[in-house]
Amino acid sequence: MAGNLMHAVQYSSYGGGAAGLKHVEVPIPTPKQGEVLLKVEATSLNPVDWKMQKGMLRPFLPRKFPYIPGTDIAGEVIKVGAGVKNYKPGDKVVAILNHGSGGGLAEFAVAKESLTVGRPPEVSAAEGAGLPVAGLTALQALTQSAGVKLDGSGQQVNLLITAASGGVGQYAVQLAKRGNTHVTATCGARNTDFVKSLGADEVLDYKTPDGAALKSPSGRKYDAVIHCAMGIAWSTFEPNLSANGKVIDITPGPSALMTFALKKLTFSKKQLVPLLMIPKKENLDYLVKLVKEGKLKTIIDSKHPLSKAEVGWAKSIDGHATGKIVVEP
């Protein structure tokens, strides 16, 4: 930081991948009503960050160029805007920034108080920064869409979690095992032991014929699939689902949306449910508490300094991260 300037990483147009990211000095933002200014300690990347850069969410996101990407941050409160009640300078927090405004790949960022939660000393900045998009998506998919109760009550739910080694999948497996579930998970061969160590009951290598067919080794049918991978057809899921089984698709493409509509219109018992994560402060708080209590881990794929954020960006685009990619100023 020099004067009121800070280091940040931004892009000014669609496309360009990692090479499209530029290192700049820009003014430190000022917290407005209900906002806190944070000194960023860690930012985790999500595929949606580079998908936005690619133009996959145009014309909605990003709302303007140049755009500083990154929504999942952990940091320290430096200043509070008018009306902020629960935070003061020096507080350590985790926050999720709006995808419209972004701002995470920078030394400082402003967050809404309403999407900021306290971070106890047991939760490192990197562990906290991993949680927002990936953790909240896993939690919402499991509890809201699949109906799993994380206190362990209720009938056993047979789950399939695809791409269990990724950012969302690693949280989904750990959270699922807090409930009364049997978890079958898919990942690459190199991550089989890792995914078992997260709690999965059985693991399929997605590159084997049985893995590609999503067949449970113990012959189970799935009540719900938390689908974190991409490019798997409904016809592959369908024979593996229980009578009322549903596929919760967190990256629904056009054909998934067609299936969703068709299954609804025909009152099919087997359903495809597209999921869009809606950030909720109480859910983020819950996840941070689980990490504090040692009941949930953030698996870190790699850490990159802000000065080399493009290396982490390229890694995320590559699609082979094990856990979360973190950038640290």
Ligand X SMILES: NC(=O)c1ccc[n+]([C@@H]2O[C@H](COP(=O)([O-])OP(=O)(O)OC[C@H]3O[C@@H](n4cnc5c(N)ncnc54)[C@H](OP(=O)(O)O)[C@@H]3O)[C@@H](O)[C@H]2O)c1
Q: List the beta strands (DSSP E) in 135-240.
A: 157-162, 181-187, 202-205, 222-227
**Would you count residue 162 as binding ligand X (CB under 6 A)?**
yes
Amino acid at 211: G
What is the distance between the alpha carbons of residues 35 and 65, in angstroms, rounded to a whole number? Answer: 22
Does residue 109 belong to the site contacting ligand X (CB under 6 A)? no
Residues 31-70 that bind ligand X (CB under 6 A): 46-48
Helix, strand, or coil here: 102? coil
CB atoms within 10 A of CB 281: 15
Distance in Å, CB of 277 to ligand X, minimum: 3
In three state form, how does the secondary structure of 271-292 look?
EEEECCCCCCHHHHHHHHHHHH
Per CB under 6 A, does 283 bind ligand X?
no
Q: Among 123, 133, 214, 299, which residue interacts with ligand X (rule: CB under 6 A)? A: 133
Which of 28-36, 95-103, 121-129, 320-328 is the region at the interface with ligand X (rule: CB under 6 A)? 320-328
Going 301 to 70 to 24 to 90, the CA torsion angle's sign is negative
Among 34, 81, 147, 188, binds ligand X (CB under 6 A): 188
Name the one range near ligand X by CB under 6 A: 34-42, 144-152, 159-167, 291-299. 159-167
Coil vs helix vs strand at 99: coil
Q: Which of 62, 102, 103, 166 binds ligand X (CB under 6 A)?
A: 166
CA distance linking residue 227 with residue 245, whole number of Å: 13
Among 117, 134, 183, 300, binds ligand X (CB under 6 A): 134
How many residues contact ligand X, by CB under 6 A?
Answer: 31
The helix-helix angle for 167-176 and 132-140 (nearest 10°) equals 40
| Residue 145 in the binding site for ligand X (CB under 6 A) | no
Among 42, 142, 214, 321, binds ligand X (CB under 6 A): 321
Which residues in this chain contact ligand X in the complex, by CB under 6 A? Answer: 46-48, 133-134, 137, 162-163, 165-169, 186-188, 191, 206, 228-230, 250-251, 275-277, 316, 319-322
